[in-house]
Chain A
């Protein structure tokens, strides 16, 4: 089902070359936070579960799983006879060791907090592990599917030390042959791989080139088959190449201006006015070169799409915006706002902020745009809403599931909630939604949350991002997950 017969029987052939924009620096899944690192982990390691190109959960090493009646234990059966690429057995004990390492405070994995629902993971026999929880979590499979939950060989890691982060020992279809920091890394097939996604390529070579122009040049000269992060201004150039085209897979990132719900922005009429002032379609076409879709609700597309509720697009209506401001008691030029914008964090972030500034000016709101470096921006975003001196900040949010996104953004008092949004009904729903694994219940709960939040407009909704990659015509079967992880499961090169 997930594999094609051709891929199963054909010898791996062809060397695929890929130019990426960011150095993954580490392939240790407990420390990697970059899509370029996820891409390698997906090829080199395996998890109990995995995500497909639409972020649906598929089985990985797991053959069966079952929740206990109280919902606090997940029992997972794993495949028999699997080994790591160095020959060590990949049994239940190895799975438990991998999770234990991630949860160990001494190790300091950046994901320990994300997996805080898990109390411990215990091997019951050779092929059975129990994942014991400290709270009901109906979204556990979505947590176990990303590469952060991949199974690493803890025994090999202890022997190798820091070197493990560059040459992880896993059970996936490929192995890391070499990694020259900041420049390139090369994957080759794992001859002992026994899973459903056998290697189709003789080697995959990645080149790290952060500068957009230089990375595009590699595609233009034919040095690489795939180039990621094609900037809006280069799309037509890459598309015009005889032997390549630009693909635009959906992204799980939504970009918004998150308002601090204090002072003038406590008034829903003001928030609605600001939303009506923005020409989203013009922004997406004119500034982003089409690499986005105007937002119609949070969360955006990407994960659990069947639980999403979408709304009518917000009209561009500066006239109505002015009326609402007048109703709220603000005449022309009487409302002054400050917004914080990062530079170089999101596609065309600075230009977008300037456009928003202009749009708000046009409805008589004097807006100051503070364009700041990444460090300052992250500090502003982490400041509790009550201590903020600005009125809004531009932020991109990943949609890794309803619980993940909505709980973090709209549960009162959670630190990723930068707006100070506080609605007791939403709080209640979010707690219930986390506890249930019944899909219909989740649909009702999250449907209500999405509607309440959309009505209350804590954000100036902007757009859902679209990815852009250049792909040579000789490549087939290439896919990209919404979190920018590249999927090479079925890739073949036809020369």
Chain B
């Protein structure tokens, strides 16, 4: 029931987004026909292109076609290539997801391990080193870190290819780069929540049952930070989809982010509209999943939801 309610609540959000996404392109400066025709084109040349693009039709007709395009890919074609937007997106989505999911998993692992180390070795040199690194991970812009990684691992050490997406090795640098921020966030989160519960009685109880320190950590203390970690993971996953615009440009990866950047510079409206709609859909989905996971993990929220 709760699941159904949440799902139903997402639909109006998507509808509003679809309207916004559709209308906003009318407010973007620049005529796509003019951009495609180039600055040397005469007005007649631009008019020919405008007409061919269907830009002279009324807004309502174009909106209906936009919505129709969600279910019927043949209606929604790129202004530039004439191929269905669905095909363009489907070809590129896997690359974006590989990097986002890969980055999240690597970030989660690295963050948890360093977080536990910091909590256990609080105040030692290793704690200081990790704290400095996490601060750097949170503060450093991704494009800058990406270029540094390319210089170090590809140009200087020669271990990995600098750019492209031809082999799995091409994905290592982008994944490591995007993992930096979630790793830093998780590390801080885990340290903080461990330090908070470490003195609590229930951990002493666990210890007194004869459990080793590591199983106390993993089974009792860490579990407590899981709920917070899931909401952070949701936010980070969303941020990574948004950040794909930058990551994919730096590493020359053909993903949705690059598709969107290229489409913006060429005013390829259908690609822009459907990519943003897809991003919005992912955000709604991520929120839904984090909400449901939180409900499932934390009985307290489940009860209060039920009472409503």
Contacts and interface: CB of A to CB of B under 8 A. Distances in A.
Pairing of A with B: yes
Interface of A: 23, 25-26, 28, 31, 33, 105, 107-108, 110, 112-114, 116, 162-163, 165-166, 180-184, 207-211, 213-215, 217-218, 220-221, 223, 372-379, 381-382, 395-398, 404-405, 408, 414-416
A252 B253 CA distance: 31
Interface stretch (B154-162, B233-241, B275-283): B154-162
A129 B56 CA distance: 36
B31 A378 contact: yes
A26 B82 contact: yes
B141 to A, nearest CB: 13
4 smallest beta-carbon distances between A and B, as pairs: A108-B52, A375-B30, A113-B45, A182-B254
B42 A414 contact: yes
B63 to A, nearest CB: 21
Which of B84, B262, B267 is the most central at the interface, judged by chain A CB atoms within 10 Å of its CB? B262
Contacts of A113: 37, 41-42, 44-46, 48
29 contacts: A25-B81, A28-B82, A33-B36, A113-B37, A116-B44, A165-B82, A181-B91, A182-B92, A182-B258, A183-B166, A213-B250, A214-B150, A214-B162, A214-B163, A214-B250, A214-B252, A217-B154, A217-B155, A218-B162, A218-B163, A218-B164, A221-B155, A223-B162, A374-B265, A377-B30, A382-B31, A397-B39, A405-B40, A415-B43
Nearest to A374: B265
Contacts of A33: 36, 38
Nearest to B258: A182
A166 B130 CA distance: 49
Contacts of B45: 110, 112-114
Contact of A213 (B43, B48, B150, B161): B150
B22 interface: no
B83 A162 contact: yes
A375 B31 CA distance: 7
A162 B253 CA distance: 23
Contacts of A108: 48-49, 51-53
B162 A382 contact: no
B83 A165 contact: yes
Contact of A183 (B49, B82, B161, B253): B253
Contacts of A31: 80-82
Contacts of A110: 36-37, 45, 49
A317 to B, nearest CB: 30
Nearest to B150: A217
Contacts of A221: 154-155, 158, 161-162
Contacts of B37: 110, 113
B41 to A, nearest CB: 6
A213 B149 CA distance: 12
A220 B147 CA distance: 13
A381 B42 CA distance: 12
Nearest to B254: A182
A415 B41 contact: yes
A344 to B, nearest CB: 8
A147 B253 CA distance: 28
B42 A408 contact: yes
Given A207-B164, A408-B40, 7 more contacts: A113-B42, A180-B254, A183-B253, A213-B250, A379-B30, A379-B31, A414-B42
A408 B38 CA distance: 12
A239 B8 CA distance: 61
A221 B154 CA distance: 7
A162 B42 contact: no
A228 B28 CA distance: 31
Of A163, A183, A184, A408, the most chain B CB neighbours within 10 A belong to: A183
